[in-house]
Structure 1
């Protein structure tokens, strides 16, 4: 009989998520930083460079949202949510968080709830070059009223 411990994928951690985002940004793994502070160090290192980019490749989306969901500090998950909202749109970010709420583990559902608050970040042209020339962007990227209603319904179902 196979050992259950060896057949399941390794558990995700905030450190592994932050390390993946740092890898995508071509930053080091911060091996010289104590492990207890390494994830926060990496999150801090990627924050500003992420916001400075007008576009992020598609490969950034899932790691950013996963890092936001696994970030244990609701004050800092914004560091991953905000660049995702600017680059990929509020609608897509919220839809992904809704998926975590519906199908994630208990820890992922709690993380999605923390990140949901950050997904409402105000969009300002002076905050990110992700805006098109002239400070505008396609409004469809940020239309999320229906997703917010689905979020409320999912929360009500989970409370029953």
Structure 2
């Protein structure tokens, strides 16, 4: 769906996205926390449980990507991108971010650009059981050179259009 066809008022928010990830993890929605702080509170609450899992069910992918894209803080969107990279692979995460950048609303495009940096997180056994010794991980999940090339081509086309 093209950005101009989408109504940004109908788009998810960081709070709704973080709440969906928390719901999938069976973490309370932080009722006693002021609404202005609730999204960050939920993001903090889900970070460790997400990284402790070597695998996540498919239903986590979209909410993780949405939360990463809608997180207004470029330092913290990693809390959603990193577990997605470990669970679903760098290639799939980068492809989703490229799709947001190409077809998303203005807010989604900006969020995809912020999250793109985090998708390059180093993959380490001490960060996730997905890479623990003796674990089996399909290296194709993390092959992303072609997606990076597409991103660079997309970014270059933006620069040409602005000139």
Say what the alpha-carbon RMSD is for the aligned residues. Answer: 1.6
- Structure 1 CA distance, aligned partners of 2:8 and 2:65? 22
Does residue 128 (structure 1) correspond to residue 109 (structure 2)? The answer is no
Give me the whole-angstrom Cα distance separating, in 2, the residues matched to 1:29 and 1:82: 22
What SS class does the counterpart of residue 123 from structure 2 fall into? coil
Partner of 1:109: 109
Residue segments in structure 2 that go unaligned for 5+ positions in a row: 1-6
| Residues 61-100 of structure 1 aligned to structure 2 (within 5 Å) | 61-100=61-100
SS in 1 for 2:129: coil
Secondary structure at the residue paired with 1:66? Answer: helix
- Deviation string for 1:82-120 (max 9, x for gaps)? 000000000000000000010001110000000000000
How far apart, in 2, do the equivalents of 1:43 and 1:8 lie? 22
Q: What is the deviation of 1:126?
A: 1.5
Which residue does 1:21 correspond to in 2? 21
Q: Distance in 2 between matches of 1:18 and 1:46?
A: 8
- Gaps of at least 5 residues in structure 1 are 1-6
Contact 1:125 1:136 in 2 (8 A): no
Asked whether the 8 Å contact 2:82–2:118 carries over to 1, the reply is: yes
How many pairs align? 154
How far apart, in 2, do the equivalents of 1:12 and 1:65 lie?
11
Aligned position for 1:138: 138
Please, what TM-score do these two structures have when normalized by structure 2?
A: 0.90
Change (3 A) 1:8 1:93: closer
